[in-house]
Chains A and B, each alone.
Chain A
Amino acid sequence: MRSILDQLRQAGLDRIHAKLLEGRRLTFDDGMRLYQTPDLTAVGYLANLARERKSGARTYFVRNLHVNYTNICNKLCKFCSFYAAPNSTDGRGYVLSPEEAAARVAKYSGEPIREIHMVAGINPKLPYQYYLDLLRAVKAARPDAQIKAFTMIELAQIARAAKRSLAEILPELRAAGLTACPGGGAEVFSDRVHEELFRAKLDNQGWFDVARAVHAAGIPSNATLLYGHIETQEEKVRHLLHIRELQDETGGFMCFVPLAFDPGRTELSHLPVTTGYANLREIAMARLLLDNFPHVKAFWIMITPAVAQMALWYGADDIDGTVSHYEITHALGTTSHRQVLGTAELLDLIAEVGREPVERDALYNPVEEPTATGTGSAVAVGYPCRASGAGGC
């Protein structure tokens, strides 16, 4: 396309374009240049090249179910409005017993759910046995679905509760039903941001160590970046390059999920909502810098279905699931205030923009004979955290 080639030249991106065509890896400086390029179409074009090289037109989605087993959390992150502090007296705090969690999952026995996404707060009162019982009970209630559970932050807490090493407990968690881990809790790998927004949380090195242990135990995971608060472009590029380095080392990451910060009801509620440009740009940046990640996800609940649909041409090859009752983010800026997408609607969104829908399981294996029946087959249970922390994908 001549017009795009002109645009790339005018935007000063022709050298990066050449690198991509030669399959060469982008550098920190390339990342900064891409962030600073106002021409989103040019950046999107490059990201789409990388996307189509990995996945062609394929766009993955999953029928998933969310379970948030507790909202009690001692991390007090400034960007979170989900948590109830352990000593709070407002009555908002809850813990689901393994039986209650299983009962909620069992309610959706008629739906062809493939993945149960289970994340929560860091509740210091829960013993190690609770987590094993939780996995077993949920797995027993839904043996045909895979459990993707526990962010790196939760896993660090589970090891603490067990008073044993991750290397020892991960095989036990796996035997109890754990298939994969979500990528939340990474936030931004910057000591400055860590100190300002989530100082009580596992530090950046700690996150890497847990992820290494998880991958070493043969459990794949995702990774995330929480953007749209106080982080700088430089911090975001460094974050992506750290993750890329770790992926070079372990190869255990499946998907990268840029998470748009939703300031509503948090301690940072004075900040504006992320823009559509920012949503598309973060997807594109992840796709361009993370050359060793198989997938990049557009999480429609946070960026709206309309932007997620467009993101399928700006680097994303995964659009998450047909979630409903997800109380995470308000998705301010949606064309309506609905938070439910039926499977048929999701398939339409993908196909309308010229992409090919592929139903997947938690490990990105294609599901045979995808069906478009059922309404919102993925359902959130409990009250997931807003914008990352315990909520992250």
Chain B
Amino acid sequence: MAEGFPDGRLADIEEKVLRGERLSFADGVGLFREANPLQLSSWANLVRRRLHPDDLVTYVIGRNINYTNVCWVQCRFCSFYRLPGAEGGYVLSREAIFGKIQELVDLGGIEILIQGGLNPALKIDYFEELFRAIKAHFPVHIHGLSPVEIIYLAKISHLDEQECLMRLHAAGLDSIPGAGAEMLVEEVREQIAPYKNSAAAWLDLMRTAHRLGIPSTVTMMYGSVETIEQRVEHLLAVRDLQDETGGFRAFIPWSFQPEGTHLPNVKRASGFDYLRTVAISRLMLDNIPNIQASWLTQGPKIGQIALQYGVNDMGSTVIEENVVTAEGAVFMVPLAEIERLIKDAGLCPARRNTRYEILTVSTLARSA
């Protein structure tokens, strides 16, 4: 990128970005294939600023609770699960879960992310009782059960999905994490998670949840076996549903972690691949307000640089994360470090709730 203006397709894309016009499938592919890091950073930054003009970067104090690791789905990219009956499988006791939540509340936390495996022993009454008990004891927001878990739970509980969602919601489920989206492209899912539900089923569940007033986030796991075109297909599938429901609060791309999985020969995605994917997500997803960094998979250095590539949210300050840790990424970023990194990037840290409402803005001056 010498002094000049990019010619051809990139110049057209830049025009669209400057005018705030929606980008097409071909634009997305063009960005992946041709744009250099500084172009992506410049454009994604522009869009981030348009959506978040105060230069606030948000985070929430929360913790993950992986209530069970028993799962029969055998995703090839996962090293967390144990098959039913296998050694090492667990279901956390009520006391263990309450203990974890108490620790969080003591630290000023307000959100729990409850996720686990597809464990045939746990039916709707288990979750209803658990959520009611949590809500009765703690002032926390329950962000829990990915679509995969809910679809399975409905099935083994002999409920339709809408009924299942309504009962979970009534019992205390506040919002749904966007996990398990992987790639919302059937050919990719067949290769990496053949027993998992289809892309259409994932999107249907989210559609139903959003209609019932249960918002969610949405993820993308890139860097396994998919093509660039398939990444863009995923982004468009998400954008289309968002046009319809408006229920997605944030988009969270993260890279496949090959270590310890059944796809060990896949090369680990680079820092550049993460940053361009984040930036292109920001540019394509004009209807999703927040792009969240994946500190757990990228580490603090690239996680911070992502703030120049379209990210405006740091997600949850993680106290515990078993799934990614089992796959080899072991980053934990404590609260003070998150604030330091945001300020070091010349931006302003702000604490939010799960609804992305600002609770407190850091009072300390920014440091460049």
Contact = CB atoms under 8 A, between A and B. Distances in A.
Interface of A: 1-4, 7, 21, 35-41, 44-45, 48-49, 52, 272-273, 275-280, 303-307, 309-310, 313, 333-336, 348-349, 352-354
Contacts of B273: 352
Given A2-B5, A3-B43, A276-B301, 9 more contacts: A40-B346, A41-B41, A279-B301, A304-B299, A304-B302, A306-B271, A310-B302, A335-B299, A348-B270
B87 to A, nearest CB: 28
Interface residues of B, number: 47
Contacts of A275: 300-301, 304, 340-341, 344-345
B171 interface: no
B271 A336 contact: no
8 contacts: A38-B347, A48-B38, A272-B337, A304-B299, A305-B271, A335-B268, A335-B271, A348-B270
Contact of A310 (B267, B275, B347): B275
Contact of B301 (A44, A49, A307): A307
A1 B14 CA distance: 8
Interface of B: 1-3, 5-6, 14, 17-18, 36-39, 41-43, 45-46, 259, 267-268, 270-275, 297-305, 308, 328-329, 337, 340-341, 344-347, 366, 368
Nearest to A333: B301
Contacts of A306: 270-272, 274, 298-299, 301-302
A2 B14 contact: yes
A335 B43 contact: no
Nearest to A313: B37
A3 B5 contact: no
Contact of A277 (B5, B275, B344): B344
Contacts of A45: 1, 38, 42
A38 B55 CA distance: 11
B38 A44 contact: yes
B2 A49 contact: yes
A77 B246 CA distance: 58
A309 to B, nearest CB: 5
B301 A40 contact: no
Nearest to B305: A276
Contacts of A48: 1, 38
A278 B340 CA distance: 12
A263 B18 CA distance: 43
A335 B18 CA distance: 34
Given A309-B272, A335-B271, A352-B270, A277 B345 contact: yes
A36 B172 CA distance: 48
A307 to B, nearest CB: 5
Given A7-B42, A352-B272, A336 B328 contact: yes
A4 B14 CA distance: 11
B362 to A, nearest CB: 15
Nearest to A42: B42
A31 to B, nearest CB: 14
A97 to B, nearest CB: 40
Contacts of B329: 335-336
Closest 9 interchain pairs by CB? A38-B346, A306-B271, A276-B301, A333-B301, A41-B41, A276-B305, A313-B37, A3-B42, A276-B304
- Among the interface residues B2, B41, B301, B304, which one has the most CB atoms of the partner chain A within 10 A? B301
A232 to B, nearest CB: 13
Contacts of B346: 38-40
Nearest to A44: B38
Contacts of A348: 267, 270
Contacts of A3: 14, 17-18, 42-43, 46
- Among the interface residues B2, B39, B299, B347, which one has the most CB atoms of the partner chain A within 10 A? B299
A48 B340 CA distance: 27
Contacts of A313: 36-38
A3 B43 CA distance: 7
Contact of B18 (A2, A39, A44, A273): A2
A38 B345 contact: yes
Contacts of B299: 304, 306, 333-335
Nearest to A37: B368
B1 A1 contact: yes
Given A38-B366, A45-B42, A335 B302 contact: yes
B224 to A, nearest CB: 16
B248 to A, nearest CB: 26
B345 A353 contact: no
A272 B17 CA distance: 37
Contacts of B1: 1, 45, 48, 52
A304 B366 CA distance: 26
Contacts of A280: 305
Given A275-B341, A310-B305, A336 B268 contact: yes
